[in-house]
Amino acid sequence: MRRFLVDRASIENVNVVQQEAELEPSPNVVNEFNPNEIETNELSNILQRKDLNIVNAMELVDVVKARLGTMRESGGNNFFADVQGFCVAKSILVPNMDDEIPVRGRSRAEGRTITNLHHYRAEIFYVAIDKICVEMDHRFSEGSNIILDCFSCLDPKNSFSKFDVDKLARLADIYHADFSDDDRGTIRDQLETYVLQVRRNASFSTCEDVQSLAMKMVQTEKHLVFPLVYKLIELALILPVSTTSVERAFSAMKIIKSKLRNKINDVWFNDLMVCYTEREIFKSLDDIDIIQTFTAKKSRKGHLPRNFI
């Protein structure tokens, strides 16, 4: 019990530290005009949500890649104008883009020079965009895009207009551990019957996303009629938990297991992780109720004051 209360207090201290860190201002001008932040803000926000809509995420990935490509090809002038306006407003000296400077990494004796415009555009702007694109391709590889594209076929909008039997049946092969050989042989017929029935059922026309579709299937008991289709929906809902929430948990590990807790055992560390990841639930619990619950489990030598009983 004492350990649980200490864990709860520790988690509250971690939250305070995080809030203070979030309030710290940006240390330099570069952060004000970060191409990664400008182009991927919407994608970052939706990927950090617990109720991630897989269809929206798939669409935003393609949109972000297209916008980064457009920004590299024709967005340099507009970006430079924005940075120049910011520097003028903050009384920051803007160098003359036509002035020549020595090539970095080369001996000055060679006499090789480039203009400031070439330096900022080719060596900084283009390089930053290319690194972001490479990271995007790494994070959203071809295999990940295939899975996202297949799951996007479950979108119930516009009378299941994106429904594709071939792509959804392919998921049974990708997640072969969750589907038996018999399941993979019959899933196509079940998918075809499923889409015909839900399109004729007016109650499914109100579904806006995969989450609402899963709830409607349970309400209408369609999850019992089409168990393989419902398993695909469950996998689509579990997918965000296996990506965003896991990354968030690893970030929490670095905060919880600090230098002062470098010898923390696995059991206590696991308890702290549970308290942190489910902190919204733990905030709603009353300390007195927790103490009374632990006390009622077994008799102890020490007795609580009367106001706790």
The yes-or-no verdict on residue 243 having pLDDT over 60 is: no
What is the pLDDT, as a whole number, of residue 6? 41
Averaged pLDDT for residues 180-202? 92
What pLDDT, on the 0 to 100 scale, is given for residue 308? 62
How far apart CA 60 and CA 28 sit, in angstroms, is 28
pLDDT > 90: percent of the chain: 21
Cα dist from 276 to 9, 46, 162, 257, 279, whole Å:
11, 21, 38, 12, 5
- Judge whether 236 and 178 are in contact, CB under 8 Å: no
Predicted pLDDT of residue 150: 87
In total, the chain counts a number of residues equal to 309
Residue 187: its pLDDT value, please? 94
What pLDDT does residue 245 have? 62
- Phi and psi torsions of 39, nearest 5°: -90, -25
Q: Report d(CA 140, CA 146) in Å as an integer.
A: 10
2-27 confidence digits (pLDDT tens): 444 444 444 444 444 444 433 333 33
Q: How many CA atoms lie within 13 A of 42 on its CB side?
A: 13
- Mapped onto helix, strand or coil, the DSSP state of residue 102 is strand
- Round to whole Å and give the CA distance between 243 and 8: 26
Residue 257 CA, distance from chain mean position: 23
* Strand-pair category, 113-115 with 100-102: antiparallel
Are 295 and 307 spatial neighbours (Cβ–Cβ below 8 Å)? no
Answer whether residue 59 shows pLDDT above 60. yes
**Averaged over 96-103, what is the pLDDT?**
88
CB atoms < 10 A from the CB of 203, how many?
A: 11
Predicted confidence at residue 309, as pLDDT, reads 58
| Contact by Cβ (8 Å): 114, 101 | yes
Residue ranges of the alpha helices (H) in the chain?
2-22, 35-47, 54-74, 76-89, 116-118, 126-139, 142-151, 157-160, 165-174, 181-200, 210-219, 222-225, 227-240, 246-256, 266-277, 279-283, 287-297
Q: Which residues does 122 contact at the CB level (< 8 Å), separation at least 6?
A: none
Identify residue 298 by its one-letter amino acid code: K
